Amino acid sequence: MVLNASDLAERRPRIGITTYLEPTIWGVWHRDAALLPRVYLDAIDAAGGVPLLLPPVGTDPEVLDILDGLVIAGGCDIDPAGYGAEAHPETVDTRPGRDQHEAILIHAALQRDLPLLAICRGLQMLNVALGGTLHQHLPDVVAHNNHRPKPAVFGTTEVKVEPDSLTHEVLGELTTVQCYHHQAIDKVASELRVTARSDDGTIEAVELPGKGFALGVQWHPEEFPDDLRLFTALIAEARKERAAK
């Protein structure tokens, strides 16, 4: 079937999402599998997009040519070797292959000015890919565990957003978010602008000035099904960019 310009304008934007590659159990099978929490898929679908999974295998930046937007998902700790540091005792369960996969996709997306939303680990990966570093164990810096209260328990954080930013345009001056992380941005990559912080000074959002939509947040917006503002903004930008091509 050949699509005409009208068909393309109506097509739901295709949003790629990076995935985990993990030992997994289903039925009688115990095998490695590409996986992603369903909440990401539901958020993109509810916001008007079509989610497409991008596993950290066979990485090819040309895949972005068929996408209208990209989400760098959350997950495990980033390998500190990627930013020239030794591992902290609390830095565990790293996935260097996934780091490399996501760095390639981030650079390719920015080169294309493809709408990009980086979530939690994704924000950290965006910073590292552009030359920044991380606090490997945030409680050492802020002296509390509120950003990751207990295993599998999300924390709640109020975030203050900088004016005259994409983040502010989407979320306003203050927003309450759910977070689950023990690492955070330390040295900010030179290309990034910090656009939100929590009360303890933790960097909560960054963006790339001069790009149409390139935004990273330290929290998990996919965990708020009643607040799809970030996903809606991503998909609106993806639709606009596609129409301009």
Q: For residue range 172-220, list pLDDT tens digits in order.
A: 999 999 999 999 999 999 999 999 999 999 999 999 999 999 999 999 9
User: Measured between alpha carbons, how far is residue 104 from residues 66, 89, 161, 212 in Å?
Assistant: 16, 28, 29, 19
Q: For residue range 89-134, list pLDDT tens digits in order.
A: 999 999 999 999 999 999 999 999 999 999 999 999 999 999 999 9
Q: For residue range 24-57, list pLDDT tens digits in order.
A: 999 999 999 999 999 999 999 999 999 999 999 9
Domains and CATH numbers, the chain: 5-244 (3.40.50.880)
- 20: which 2 tokens? 């985990």
The interaxial angle of helices 229-244 and 38-46, nearest 10 deg, is 60
Q: Which residues are catalytic?
A: 120, 220, 222
User: Mean pLDDT, to the nearest integer, of 219-235?
Assistant: 96
The span from the CA of 79 to the CA of 97, in Å, is 9
